[in-house]
Amino acid sequence: MISSELARKLAKVENIGFNTASQRVSRAEGIERVQGFFKSNQSLIFLPNQQQGREVLKLLAQQMELHGKKYWFTLNALKYHAGTVSTDFLQTYSYYPVEPVSSHFTFAEVIQKFVLEGILVYAPGTYSFAPRLRYNSMNAFLGQTLETIKLNVLDNFKELARNIGWVSYESFKQFATYGNFNWAFMGVSPVRGLKTGKEFGFVIGDILLGRPTYKKDVEFFVRKIETVQSYKGASRVMPVLLVDSLDKEAFQYLKEKGVIIGVIKELFGEKYAKTLNDLITILTNAAASLAKNPNQYLQLINELRKYNDGLLKNIKGALFEYVAGHYYIYKHASLDMGWEIVENGAAHEMDVRATFGDKVIIAECKGRISPTPIEDINKFVRIKIPAFRSWLEKNDTHRNKSIEFEYWSSAGYTEDALLRIEELRAEYKRNIVTFLGPLEIMARAKEMKNKKLQKELDTFFFKSNV
């Protein structure tokens, strides 16, 4: 609860003054605090054993929405995207300027505050909820692939905006700054209605997709637009929000605020939108999709090849995890894919976890266009395997099962990586990792007697130029 509420309860129970109770709360040991985001120097107070549940994050969001709305926009962006967002996109979803403005914190200052208070952690290029505010595992696989999809949609929108004359041909930029805020895209517009005298206007916008989207999720965009239009001498702008779907209230709200709603289906056609939707659906619950319809991702590859070949190439690595998952489903395993665990003081992505009656197999999957280097092998063996073992041994479901590791590489291994693999086989009495390259992976596809999988391995996953 908020510290002032705790102080009031303590004052009542102990029959002491509120100020005395507040001092006791501020000095108390053995409790967790989040401070610096609420009025009157209040803190969010919780117990250490509460930190892995939903309630702490839920209450933090509620209190920020009430007493620190600017902070809340950043927190909500993380929640909307399942707990992990790249720095580039998070800047666009924040209601903080990226360049210094008098009497305003910048995005960099605010995000550092989130990190110092233990709400977020930074990994190269991304921010995520800190371990004390999230579950033990998160679906990093989904978040990363959704960002790849968004980048592809932005590329397609760039071509559309250029071709119809919305923006000057060379002016369209992704993750550009306009009016001190960052936007997913920005372009100078020669459209007559946007001109002020001889000055051109601008097309500016952001993108949200892959999640149910409500009014609260689009408020950041309207706030940014209203702010840049309030500047003295501001240029005229055409605000565009790209979405795949919207709640009715959110749709009406954006219309009332004069925002152009760029619905994916209306911009690029029904088939394009359906293919994206099908892809997002199977990504959202990869393991369940494989269990229900193991060949669906292979069918989707064919659809993407026809309607969005650029996106298909960009998500090759993500789809390769489905090949491993497909094999384990064939072997009657219970499957988890793309989960990020926190162990040994760091976050580690667990590509595929296949659970059998007597064992657990953890698979690292590299859908690459070039052979896997020795550095990747060493990282997996020295850092990830110990973390995975430690995590599994603490998990009641897996504690009494044997643990095996596999490494799948669609492009094989470099020469020094192959030498390292031979050293590992000689170094340990038993094989700690089974390494699979194209020949071994194809052998498993043949074991499955799956002609479609064999074809896609040959024509897509094993080809370095696709």
pLDDT at residue 465 is higher than 70: no
CB 360 within 8 A of CB 402: yes
Q: What is the dihedral of CA 107, 108, 109, 115, to 10 degrees?
A: 110
- Mean pLDDT of all residues in 183-207: 94
Question: Which is nearest to 82 in space by CA: 148, 134, 122, 150?
Answer: 134
End-to-end CA distance of the chain: 53
CB 91 within 8 A of CB 133: no
pLDDT at residue 244 is higher than 90: yes
pLDDT band at 52 (very low <50, low <70, confident <90, very high): low
The larger pLDDT score, comparing residue 405 to residue 429, is at 405
pLDDT band at 50 (very low <50, low <70, confident <90, very high): confident
This prediction's pTM: 0.86
Q: What is the mean pLDDT of the chain?
A: 90
CB 316 within 8 A of CB 465: no
- Calculate the alpha carbon distances from 3 to 29, 130, 264 in Å: 14, 21, 45
pLDDT at residue 136 is higher than 60: no
Q: What is the pLDDT of residue 174?
A: 96
Task: Report the b/e string of 359-374 with b at 16+ CB within 10 A.
Answer: ebbbbbbbbbeebbeb
Q: Which range, 137-141, 200-204, 345-349, has the best average confidence (pLDDT)?
A: 200-204
Beta-bridged to residue 127, according to DSSP, are 85, 122
SS (H, E, C) the chain: CEHHHHHHHHHHHHCCCHHHHHHHHHHCCCCEEEECCCHHHCEEEECHHHCCCHHHHHHHHHHHHHHCHHHHHHHHHHHHCCCEEEHHHHHHHCCCCCCCECCECCHHHHHHHHHHCCCEEEECCEEEECHHHCCCEEEHHHHHHHHHHHHHHHHHHHHHHHHCCCCCCCCCEEEEEECCEEEEEEEEECCHHHCECCECEEEEEEEECCCCCCHHHHHHHHHHHHHHHHCCCCCCEEEEEEECCCCHHHHHHHHHCCCEEEEHHHHHCHHHHHHHHHHHHHHHCHHHHHHHCCCHHHHHHHHHHHHCHHHHHHCHHHHHHHHHHHHHHHCCCEEEEEEEEEECCEEEEEEEEEECCCEEEEEEEECCCCCECHHHHHHHHHHHHHHHHHHHHHCCCCCCCEEEEEEEECCCECHHHHHHHHHHHHHCCCCCEEEECHHHHHHHHHHCCCHHHHHHHHHHHCCCCC
**Tens digit of pLDDT for each residue in 407-433?**
999 999 999 999 999 999 888 766 689
pLDDT at residue 264 is higher than 50: yes
Residue ranges and CATH numbers for the domains of the chain are 31-135 (no CATH), 141-270 (3.40.1350.10), 305-461 (3.40.1350.10)
Determine the Cα–Cα distance for residues 108 and 361; give it in Å rounded to an integer.
40
Q: What is the pLDDT of residue 396?
A: 76
What phi and psi values does residue 8 have, to the nearest 5 degrees? -65, -45
pLDDT band at 140 (very low <50, low <70, confident <90, very high): low
Exposed, middle or buried by CB within 10 Å (0-12, 13-18, 19+), for 447?
A: exposed
Q: What is the pLDDT of residue 249?
A: 97
Determine the Cα–Cα distance for residues 458 and 123; give it in Å rounded to an integer.
35
